[in-house]
């Protein structure tokens, strides 16, 4: 693991990042030469090289953190990501269950309509238990594999 220093082109005082948002990695001598010829300003950025074989799964890539040359998954961030995914799935299921309840009511099947309404209440009540359930998932793989029990039977 080697700490390297890279440079990117600074287009102006209000624009510290290139338009595409991707830093241009240039050796310092090349950056200096371009700066002397064009007058463009360069701002150094630091980065660390890591072995790609040691990277965690890309599943929770937005929750990666870098500490002392090791990339790992920040579990609180990963839990927040997973919670957002679960709540999105839950909202889709609530919509589906609501449609089933309406169809059952239209068909005069009150028992089925009540069953679907109860399922909707159960799904809407997940907010109270989801955080506790996700806290019990201690690894990224367990977090990824977790499916709320309220999702079963739908």
d(CA 3, CA 36): 26
d(CA 128, CA 107): 33
Q: Which two tokens stand for residue 23?
A: 């830093």
pLDDT band at 36 (very low <50, low <70, confident <90, very high): confident
Closest CA to 56 of 81, 78, 76, 79: 78
Q: What is the predicted pLDDT for the residue at 39?
A: 74
Closest CA to 62 of 46, 45, 43, 85: 85
Return the percentage of the chain with pLDDT > 90, whole number. Answer: 32
Higher pLDDT, 144 or 11: 144
Q: What is the predicted pLDDT for the residue at 42?
A: 66
Closest CA to 57 of 76, 75, 72: 72
């Amino acid at each position: 693991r080697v700490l390297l220093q890279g440079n990117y082109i600074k287009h102006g005082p209000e624009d510290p990042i290139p338009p595409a948002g991707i830093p241009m990695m240039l050796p310092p001598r090349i950056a200096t030469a371009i700066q002397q010829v064009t007058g463009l300003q360069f701002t150094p950025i630091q980065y660390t090289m890591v072995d790609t074989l040691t990277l965690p799964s890309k599943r929770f890539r937005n929750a990666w953190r870098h500490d002392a040359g090791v990339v790992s998954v920040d579990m609180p961030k990963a839990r927040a990501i997973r919670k957002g995914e679960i709540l999105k799935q839950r909202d889709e299921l609530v919509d589906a269950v609501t449609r089933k309840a309406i169809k059952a009511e239209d068909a005069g099947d009150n028992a089925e309509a009540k069953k679907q309404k109860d399922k909707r209440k159960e799904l809407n009540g997940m907010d109270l238990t989801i955080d506790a359930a996700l806290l019990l998932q201690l690894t990224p793989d367990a977090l990824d594999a977790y499916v709320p029990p309220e999702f079963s039977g739908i």
